[in-house]
Amino acid sequence: MSDAIEKPLKKMAQPIQNLINLNAILGKPSGGTRTVCKTPMIYRITLRSRNTVAEWEDLMTGDFDTSGKGKSALIAAAYRGLQAEIYKYTEEQVIGVFHDFEKFFDTIDLEILMQKALEHNFPIIDLALTMQQHMAPRIIQCDGFCSRTIITNTSILAGCKHSVALTRLLFLTGMKQLSIENPLAAPQVYVYDTAMITAGDKDTTLTNMAKAIKDFAKMSSKLGLTLSTKGVIVAKLPYAARHLVQDLKTLGITYNTAETTRDLGIDFSFSRKPKIRKCILKQRIQKSKGTLNRIYRIAKVTRRARVLFSGAGYSKSTWGQQASAITLQEWSKIEVAAVNAASFGKGRCRYSALCIAYGPEGQPFTRAIKETFILWFKLILPLIKQNSPILIHIEESWNQIYKDMKLQDTKITLEKGLARADGIAAHITVILYSLQWKPIQYDTWEDPQGNTWQLHADFDRPFPMMTVIHAIIDSYHEYMAPNAAKHFDGASITGAIAWETTLAHNQTLKKKKKFPELAILETIQAGACWPCNRVNDVLDKDTTCALCGQQYTDQWHTYWTCPSLQESEDEAITKSQKLIAELNPDKK
């Protein structure tokens, strides 16, 4: 074999452990730093080209595991939040425990991990490839500066495609054993975030949870992991949590008590005070201001910035809003950001402008309604299919939820209801009541026309579930139409707006990718909500007509009597064609 071929082959055959990992240090919003691993491209390509580990995960995922295909952190946390919300109205005493590990990925013992891999028949080739990469020399990179190479004998790389599979492998035996030995306080795991919830009488819950925590601590010790002192215990009776913490402290196990805690980014609490339950959600809205301001700056040069708002700004601001409703005051800030991202500016009817820019179901609040009900169905339908015992508690507490919010005594409004909502069941109830629906039971609702909607075990997505959601969104638009009709020349939309007809041409332009023409049409649609004299009043400018120069104009002048409106149809078409040509010079 010639040297020209042999040398490259030898180079390709070098062990993967000779490839160096870069670990970049990034700042955290809460302070401190975290590392993000950048593994070599050849390694990432290799993992993407193989599916043996994914097939192994499908076979080995336990009932306790809330991550993986078809599962999400939002659903896992929302279900625990629903339990906390429902058990507030029952006689049972409830304790929730949220465990935390000290530098989890950095303290994993690779020898124990490989023993578990052999025990559970982890794909051996993938194990060899992965371990060589995880044990390769590392370099820490910060602000463009690189450290010397560091040899590691512990820890796995958090950025590796197989990291979640290795975590699942590490916990598989221990979590299964915990579930068998502690069925009333079984662990629920999302990657490595572990929660336990138990309900019953006071003595039983304390006994069950104390045993479950001790067993969990023993399992962690056997795996070479260290429990963090950031672990939190939240109880329906606060003194029960304090008693449990003191009992564990005598064994050298440290936990904290709290009225509310962070559960995968969502508030978990038994408190009936909305301010306490919504603290994390409020912090998220505050932290999203920087992202929204950047999108607004981009919107000044491109109308496509609204796509960034829909995909990033909205999601960052509202993640988890289903489980703990955002108040209308906070929604107004989010909607203003959406208007800015659509470049519609001030002096418009915000509701109609947003519907035109994002569509009647993409407008921020209607999108939130859709997300809330989709999550509710994802929580409730599996429980109905399994005939879960918790349905009895949901049924018992359903009426108490809106009694607690005084919905039966007074006509609830969105503003008051969202401020009081302290969980997803309350959030659902507020939306239905304020839109004149009757939430008869958690699975049975009656619309304003008297039609009954009921969930069944076979009531699955996409068609039946989305049908009721569309009906609720239509009710929201009917709810908003009277307010929009109060704007100038808006009397014709008192009942409702025919969005399909209004936006039909918009959809045609989108499909044809005629974005300049679409921008013109949307601006006209949004601007037509207010005549120019009212816009000038808002902007504190004179009321001189920009088209003909006449002073002291009114809405009649804007729409009917302005001399510029008297030009021939041919002249108007010619002007519009010139404008389109200027905006799109590449097309003839």
| Residue 297 to residue 316: CA distance in whole angstroms | 17
Torsion of CA 200, 203, 205, 207, to 10 degrees: -140
How far, rounded to the nearest angstrom, does the alpha carbon of residue 519 sit from its chain's CA centroid?
29
Confidence at residue 10, expressed as pLDDT on a 0 to 100 scale: 42
- Joined together, the tokens standing for residue 217 give 């601590």
d(CA 388, CA 233): 25
Is residue 134 within 8 Å of 82, Cβ to Cβ?
A: no
CA distance 420 to 325: 9
In this prediction, residue 8 carries a pLDDT of 40
Strand ranges of the sheet holding 145-146, from the earlier edge strand across to the other edge: 33-38, 21-27, 138-142, 145-146
Q: What's the pLDDT at 185?
A: 93
Strand 145-146 with 138-142, pairing? antiparallel
Residue 17's pLDDT is 42
Give the chain's radius of gyration (CA, Å).
29
Contact 532, 553 (CB under 8 A): yes
pLDDT of residue 532: 66
- Given a contact cutoff of 8 angstroms between Cβ atoms, the answer to whether 97 and 232 are in contact is yes
Provide the pLDDT for residue 559. Answer: 62
Rounded to 5 degrees, φ, ψ at 450 are 90, 5
pLDDT of residue 4: 45
Bond preceding residue 274 cis, omega within 30 of 0: no
Q: Please give the helix or strand (H or E) that residue 362 lies within, else none.
A: none
Distance, CA of 105 to CA of 170 (rounded, Å): 11
With a cut of 70, which residues of the chain have pLDDT below it? 1-20, 28-30, 272-278, 345-348, 405-411, 457-463, 488-492, 527-539, 546-547, 552-553, 555-556, 558-560, 564-588
Looking at residue 5, its pLDDT comes to: 38
| Alpha-helix runs per DSSP H in 300-423 | 305-308, 314-318, 328-341, 350-358, 364-386, 390-404, 414-420
| Cβ proximity of 160 and 40 under 8 Å | no
| CB proximity list for 275: less than 8 A, separation 6 or greater | none
